Structure 1
Amino acid sequence: MEEQIAALAAELASLKEATAGLNRTTAETFYFLTIPLMVLIHAGFLSYEMGASRAKNALASGIKNILAFAFIIPTFYYAGWFIYWAFPTGFSMSAGPAGISGYDYAVGAANPAGSVMGPSVADSATGVFFGAFAMFAATTASIMSGSLIERIKIVGFTILAIVLGSFVWILGAAWGWHADGWLVTSLGYHDFGASGVVHAIAGFFTLGVLINLGARIGKFNPDGSANAIPGHSMPATLVGLMLIIAGFWGFLMACVIFPGEAWSWSSGIFATIYGTPVTLSAMTFNILMGFAGGAISSWVMTRDPFWMMSGALGGIISVAAGLDLYWPPMAFVIAMIGGVIMPIVARFVERLRIDDAVGAVALHGVVGVWGVVAVGIFASGYPALTTEGAPQITLYGQVVGALVMAALGFIPGYGVSLLLKVMGLLRAPREAEIMGLDKAKVPAVAYPELLGDARVPTSPAE
């Protein structure tokens, strides 16, 4: 009998070890797959932005998008990941109530000079978590990128992208997208799908830059009226927007915490970054309803294919903050409101003589704020955390959080771009803008047959 018990115990231990290994591998694979899905967002922004540019600027627009992506990876490795773990409680870098923040914790979890930020068969989580967050960081820069097309210097844009992607937004994430974040623990701030910590911050950072950058030549008349400057390929823009939406499934998938691991909130169900329960099933209902609501209302408002597809994205952004809480018909209505807000705000921004080429201030900035505030209107009373005595979600907390995100984006966006303007690193020369940034800066031709460019191609593929 003792031998049988020992054999059963050994078999049970082996089974538990195998199950734990399978769960660990599944969790690692889950986050690994979110990364190429989020790369689709950047393929989408690339197509979207190049299509929205005139043919003479198409390659320059694409190059700065790719450079932003490339530069954010190493800068986020050396700075951004550490900021997320060090600053949730504020600038003191003290530990928060959950004990997963502060300087000492950040040194252990995100020291770029330490062994944790490198390959280890004992660690199947850090690399994929870092990768997913780096994609969030790159998304903020891509949000900004389209608004600035056809007149910004590549070096100035790259500096702005690094500041936004590797320093600014991640500070907002530490405050409002972390279980120890002071907005969460003090005000019950809830922003599951990053309507505020990604979209609002990036949108208002962009607004600050646009004020200093100025409008494209020919955009505004002396009387203040605006001229349309259509891009060279609406089909490329629409395909790009659809790719962004496809990539958003990976973005939102990466917002959940996988169950059953030492770092998990739960042993049996997905959780939000705050530890509250969520399911992929619930997310699916609301993502689709958000897409539909935003597309329909924007189409009804404008009858414009660009705004229709932007509205679909805006609908998802509208419901992202409360994606884990809404009943699907409620998500549909919230998305429809976002789809109505967006073109109205875009026209208002244009009346201020601000040239936002793709409407990012409206689509990401203001609609991101709406997404955060909507949680306070429609989901007040839910616990913000799973801990005992945790604050509840309130309209007050959501409004304050939204204002913090807007200010956190706008102030550094305005300040850094003003400094670059003073240094002569922000705006391309007038002659280059008139000629086209491709001819001024890019040793290749986007459409040689159509543009009749006689330059000798320098690309090895040609």
Structure 2
Amino acid sequence: MDQVETAQKIAELQNLIEMSGTINMEVFYWWCTGLMVIIHAGFLAYEMGASRLKNALASGVKNILAFAFNIPTFFFFGWWIYLAMYNGFTPDFEAGAAGLPWSSNMGPNLADNASGIFWGAFVLFAATTASIFSGAVIERIRMSSFIILAIILGSVVWILAASWGWHPQGWLTVDWGFHDFGAAGAVHMVAGFFALGVTINLGARIGRFAPDGTPLPITGHSVPMSIIGLMLIIVGFFGFLGGCIIYTTGGQWTTIFGTPTTLSSISFNTLMAFSGGIIGSYVITRQPFWMMSGALAGIFSAAPGLDLYYPPLAFLMGITGGIVAPLADKFLTNKFKIDDAVGAFAVHGVGGLIGIVGLGIFSGFPNVIEGAPAISFMGQLKSALVMASLGFIPGFGLSYVMSKMGALRVPPKAEEAGLDLVEVPLAAYPESVPATSQDPSTTSTNGSTVTV
């Protein structure tokens, strides 16, 4: 074999290796996206279980529709926002061109194995923000207003936050050294503060507070369903965190910021934070609902530094989130009469805030972006304020307008009757349906036949 043939064989082998790496990258994000769908199965069960029987299916339908509406809207304009708006409110039209609906990147293209798979992961992040918001407003929000708010949150607000602080050239990172591996800011803080803004204008459910302001418990019809749903969210969160890592053919894993990491480090710290959150909430509440919600808060409280922390530190951050989240929810309920039905703000908003600011306390880690400052307390604190504002202001402002228009909340009669009755033509638990076939003129009562 002469030198020319040898060179050709080497080039062919190199192409095969590169294509194999490209396919492996696609497969990795394909299954991350599939796991992230489990998050929505979890939210579905979680919120239906947390609703009273008369509202169970309506709460589930909200989640299904938020998922469905965010996919096309994220295709038509959400992905463009991420690619174009990293500098602030001034778009980079050249960078955003790849995200335009008619771009060759936004459809079948044998020369592009990356755009669709990354878009798929990001659209699941978008749907997650909508599902976080959904739980806070169950049992009294109009379906139409919820869908509009969910689209704004998932396909505009969260992805703008991601472009600013979860993009390799985002201005928060370039100017302030912001670091947030697990999207505690862009997803969880933004969704939590958006939910808080809407909940203020939506008001409490009928019967949630006594005339003197004393909180009265409203228990969902199936606590076991909610607990199982929360566990499913945690299972899906491993796909979520996988989507936070960049697969590089022939190289080490990196974060979305370009800093090197490993799946091993993420495994250590995620599991330690998860367990810490459970323990923290158990110590404070002894309630299984809050134990599993605390597990989520624990992960969010460590999420910004999952690629950096020593595992005992991730465990400490998890315990902190698990303790603070139920206390924050209790404080908001008692002091400000906020009716957040599932504690979404406390778990996601406060948990994410602990995570962002906490990484600033344990700061000093370098930033690989050329010229960007190192991770610092002030950089993380200022970035957290941006994320909180970016969630709260549109959530409060849009819901305020809807409330003044009488379009935000269902009428009291509909709320008292139950949203399943007025919005879902199906019974959640149709106990009246006979278990066995029988003559239509009779009904079965304790095994006996009775003439109608």
* Short-chain TM bin: over 0.9
Is residue 103 of structure 1 aligned with residue 96 of structure 2? no
2-structure distance, mates of 1:168, 1:6: 55
Is residue 191 of structure 1 aligned with residue 189 of structure 2? no
1-structure distance, mates of 2:178, 2:370: 16
SS in 2 for 1:116: coil
Give CA deviations for 1:399-421 in whole Å, capped at 9, x if unaligned: 00111100110000000111111
Is residue 362 of structure 1 aligned with residue 346 of structure 2? yes
TM normalised by structure 2 equals 0.94
Contact 2:161 2:390 in 1 (8 A): yes
- Opposite residue 122 of structure 2, the aligned amino acid is F
Q: Who is 1:375 aligned against?
A: 359
Match of 2:299 among 285, 308, 316: 316
Give CA deviations for 1:281-309 in whole Å, capped at 9, x if unaligned: 10000010011000011011100010001
2-structure distance, mates of 1:374, 1:420: 36
Q: What does 1:170-249 align with in structure 2 at a 5 Å threshold?
A: 170-249=159-238
Structure 2 residues without counterparts, runs of 5 or longer: 435-452
Give CA deviations for 1:325-350 in whole Å, capped at 9, x if unaligned: 00001100011011111011000110
SS in 2 for 1:449: coil
Match of 1:138 among 102, 107, 127: 127
Q: Who is 1:293 aligned against?
A: 276
Report the count of equivalent residues.
433
Give CA deviations for 1:179-216 in whole Å, capped at 9, x if unaligned: 11111011000011001110000000000000000000
2-structure distance, mates of 1:138, 1:387: 29
SS in 2 for 1:397: helix
Contact 2:174 2:371 in 1 (8 A): no
Is residue 330 of structure 1 aligned with residue 313 of structure 2? yes
- Opposite residue 89 of structure 2, the aligned amino acid is F
Q: Measured at CA, do residues 197 and 450 of structure 1 come closer, stay the same or move farther in structure 2, by a change above 3 Å?
A: farther
2-structure distance, mates of 1:390, 1:186: 6
Is residue 32 of structure 1 aligned with residue 37 of structure 2? no
Contact 2:35 2:238 in 1 (8 A): yes
1-structure distance, mates of 2:237, 2:93: 32
Give CA deviations for 1:362-414 in whole Å, capped at 9, x if unaligned: 00001111110111011x11122x23333100000000011110011000000
Residue 447 of structure 1 deviates from its aligned partner by 0.6
RMSD: 1.2
Q: Who is 1:97 aligned against?
A: none
Residue 451 of structure 1 deviates from its aligned partner by 10
- Opposite residue 270 of structure 1, the aligned amino acid is W
2-structure distance, mates of 1:413, 1:433: 22
Residue 423 of structure 1 deviates from its aligned partner by 2.0
Match of 2:19 among 4, 18, 21: 21
Q: Who is 1:99 aligned against?
A: none
Q: Who is 2:442 aligned against?
A: none
2-structure distance, mates of 1:387, 1:199: 24
Identical columns (%): 57
Structure 1 residues without counterparts, runs of 5 or longer: 94-101, 261-266, 453-462
- Opposite residue 69 of structure 2, the aligned amino acid is F
1-structure distance, mates of 2:321, 2:150: 26
- Opposite residue 63 of structure 1, the aligned amino acid is V
2-structure distance, mates of 1:256, 1:367: 21
Residue 157 of structure 1 deviates from its aligned partner by 0.3
Residue 433 of structure 1 deviates from its aligned partner by 0.6
SS in 2 for 1:117: coil
| Moved >3 Å (runs of 4+) | none
Q: Who is 2:328 aligned against?
A: 345
1-structure distance, mates of 2:373, 2:140: 46
Q: Who is 1:431 aligned against?
A: 413
2-structure distance, mates of 1:338, 1:230: 24
- Opposite residue 65 of structure 2, the aligned amino acid is L
Q: Who is 1:409 aligned against?
A: 391
Residue 10 of structure 1 deviates from its aligned partner by 2.0
- Opposite residue 103 of structure 1, the aligned amino acid is F
Q: Measured at CA, do residues 61 and 31 of structure 1 come closer, stay the same or move farther in structure 2, by a change above 3 Å?
A: same
TM normalised by structure 1 equals 0.92
Q: Which deviates further from its counterpart, 4-13 or 191-200? A: 4-13
Q: Who is 2:118 aligned against?
A: 129
